[in-house]
A = this chain, B = another copy of it.
Amino acid sequence: MRFYERLRAIQRANNSLLCVGLDPDPEKLPMHLRYCDDPIGEFCRGIIEATSDLVCAYKMNLAFFEALGGRGWLTAHRVLSHMPPNIITIGDAKRGDIGNTAAMYASALLRDFKFTASTVNAYMGEDSVRPFINDPDRGAFVLALTSNSGSRDFQFLKVGGKPLYERVITKARKWNENQNLGFVVGATHPSQLKRIRHLVRDMPLLIPGVGVQGGDLKQAVRYGCDAQGEMALINASRSIIYASGHEDFKEAAHTSAMALRDEINLYREKFF
């Protein structure tokens, strides 16, 4: 199924725009998991089991798996094997390199791991993004305006009167023949989000930053969605996966995810 259709289908099926970010930090795991064979794998499996009826997507932050060394790769594969088949899986890797190298990264993420989509850094331009959007069934989210403090260093620089992130968006939109491109826009920039949604029409926006990072959820929903109240993926990582640091982490993640999904849906009803 084409990427955009697949995203809409799961957002409707689970009535959810919530994307849960899997950023598993070994130092934050519940104590009772730390001494099993594969603590990170077990932890992620628990989070997936507890939340998969409440989300449209999971975003796996590959940095946290790479930091585990060689076994991190195996753990990442194992985590992916627990994903229900209709949920979007995003390999959050923010890769970007010259064409022949980007093709290798795309192969690792889309063919080896079989992620449905990945995040991509477009600083190196078109040939660095192309391999991630060759397959119409797989998507890519290009970094536009990120949620972190460092986003102010370059992304807001004015280029011909417009901020750089807008130039990234208007240029990258031209690469979207396969209708499988989206953008990353942090919830920490609500007024810019409004303008960006206007620019991209109904393309998907991956919106991190509503949890620990302090972004504005109401505005993220109001301005992040397309005209049908869809095509935004509102990501929360730490506020859900570490909702409890104890044996009840699955129940706590479920409760936290349901509360966030429901709050998102409340705003959808209000604005759409």
Contacts and interface: CB of A to CB of B under 8 A. Distances in A.
Interface stretch (A4-12, A105-113, A223-231): A105-113
A100 to B, nearest CB: 8
B121 A123 contact: yes
A67 B107 contact: yes
A61 B148 contact: no
A148 B167 contact: no
* Identical chains bound together, number: 2
A127 interface: yes
A123 B125 contact: no
B70 A77 contact: yes
Nearest to A146: B124
Interface string A96-135: 1111111011011000100000000111111111000000
A73 interface: yes
A99 B146 CA distance: 12
A168 B149 CA distance: 16
Interface string A158-193: 111000100110010000000000000000000000
A246 interface: no
Nearest to A119: B97
A133 to B, nearest CB: 14
B104 A148 contact: no
B123 A67 contact: no
